[in-house]
Amino acid sequence: MTVDRRIGISAIPSDPKSYLNEQQQLGLIHLREYGWTTFCVRRLSGDSATTILRNKHNKVLGILHEDGTLRIANQLKVRDCRYEENTDIESMLDSIKQQVKKPPQQ
């Protein structure tokens, strides 16, 4: 049985850039142009952290490495609830955007 040690802690910290070095920050700027977004930050013991990215087009996950490159992670295991939570948020945002574009007729 696994124990969830992240109870009460967000999958993405309030300041995710604080976990990235300069090369990773530059790499992330370029990767965002291709649909990659921060999915979660795995905060290990000490100062070590791994940033997981997800492509919004095909939902593929990848790891942002120290040198700023992305490595596709086919065998990466993440909590199902985190994936569903993110999908629900995206659906809500899409719905809000549609309502803003087409306000209800009165």
Residue-level pLDDT at 32: 93
Q: Distance between CA 53 and CA 61 in Å, rounded?
A: 6
Query: Is 40 inside any structural domain?
Result: yes
Residue-level pLDDT at 33: 94
Query: Is 21 inside any structural domain?
Result: yes
Query: Is 95 inside any structural domain?
Result: yes
Residue-level pLDDT at 65: 93
Query: Containing domain of residue 23, as a range?
Result: 16-101
**pLDDT, tens only, 39-61:** 888 777 666 788 889 999 998 99
Query: Is 84 inside any structural domain?
Result: yes
Query: Is 7 inside any structural domain?
Result: no
Tally helices (H) and strands (E) across the chain.
2, 4
DSSP letter assigned to residue 106: -
Query: Is 4 inside any structural domain?
Result: no
What average pLDDT score do residues 25-34 get?
Answer: 93
Q: On the CB side of 52, how many CA atoms lie within 13 Å of its CA? A: 20
Number of separate domains in the chain: 1
Query: Is 106 inside any structural domain?
Result: no
Query: Is 22 inside any structural domain?
Result: yes
Residue-level pLDDT at 31: 95
**pLDDT, tens only, 49-100:** 888 899 999 989 999 999 999 999 887 777 654 444 454 555 556 666 666 6
Q: pTM above 0.75?
A: no
Q: On the CB side of 53, how many CA atoms lie within 13 Å of its CA? A: 26
Residue-level pLDDT at 22: 93
Please calculate the CA angle 78-37-9 and round it to the nearest 5 degrees.
50
Residue-level pLDDT at 40: 83
